[in-house]
Amino acid sequence: MNTSSILKTYGSLVIFSTILAVSSCGGSGGGGSSGTGTGTLSLQITDAAVDTAEHVYVQFSGLEIQSADGKRTTLYYCEDPMDSTKIIVSADACTTPPKSKQIDLLAFNGGLADSLLDSYTLPAGHYSWIPLMVDTADPLHFYIVVSGTPYELTIPSGPQTGMKVNRGFDVPAGGSADFTIDFDLRKSVHVTGTGEYMLRPTLRMVDNVMESSIFGTVDQSLITTGCTPAVYVFAGSGVTPDDIDDIAADPVTTATVKQDTGGVYRYKAAFLEVGSYTIAFTCDAAKDNPAPADDALTFSVPVTVSVTANTDTPYNF
């Protein structure tokens, strides 16, 4: 493929995202969902990185929010005339032509995230799903850059279908719901035998009130020649680490290991729900091509780490 190959327009990508089910106390703001009054919804996006790419671009034109009774709210990105930043509003509130929001997902990992929706007021109640809409006006709306060359990302199920996960969320009356969408690129990006880049979107949603992280360092002696270092995080204790292949046990997320300016190798697995996790280090992350066939990954001795709400828990390899 070459640069011209990415000038193919796919149409609207609709990604049906899953959101952490809320308890009887309601969503992130508590107080329960009464179905009367209003509350606010905030969404941000992060990514679990992929090894071989420098950039993974997606260009959002907006999103839709559908309530349990079928009512749909469509929101667009609109340039704020006061400060030229892009805000998200309903169509009738946009005083300028709608814009799009291009995100390089690889710029937002290791605990970083970019805002998709900031405290938007909605009727309190239960909502069924949220489609994220990719801009179709710009042909470079969804592509990956590898060794300086852009390649189109083909979506096998079709851009209109995207990914559907049937779990909803509540917006509590007088409160707020606040979630992070983890677009797991290590699980989502596949490379075929012919060198074509395929995208099977894999999203994970976390309630920000409960989110936690595991972070730490990796001893330099573990970073051998040709190493592509990463930390794999599996749900539960005592899990035997495995590659990503849609067969249990797949990791909940992965964290790239990066060398800081002082020469120390660090990682951070962020946006984890409360619970116990098995974590393991590998130098073979670049070999992990998400597919049914097993990849030969070598892991360190796995350890169990338990996390609590709003806590950064350390573990050093």
- Residue 155 · residue 199 · CB < 8 Å: yes
101-159 pLDDT tens trace: 788 888 888 788 888 888 889 899 998 877 777 665 555 667 888 888 888 777 665 54
Just give the CATH number of 212-314. Answer: 2.60.40
**Count of CA atoms in the C-beta half-sphere (13 A) of 262:** 4
Compute the radius of gyration of the chain from its Cα atoms. 20
pLDDT single digits (tens) 169-178: 889 999 998 8
Q: What percent of the chain has pLDDT over 70?
A: 75
User: Looking at per-residue confidence, does 307 or 243 come out higher?
Assistant: 307
Closest CA to 206 of 262, 271, 155: 271
Domain ranges of the chain: 11-207, 212-314
Please give the model's pTM, rounded to 2 decimal places: 0.76
Confidence of residue 10 (pLDDT cuts 50, 70, 90): very low
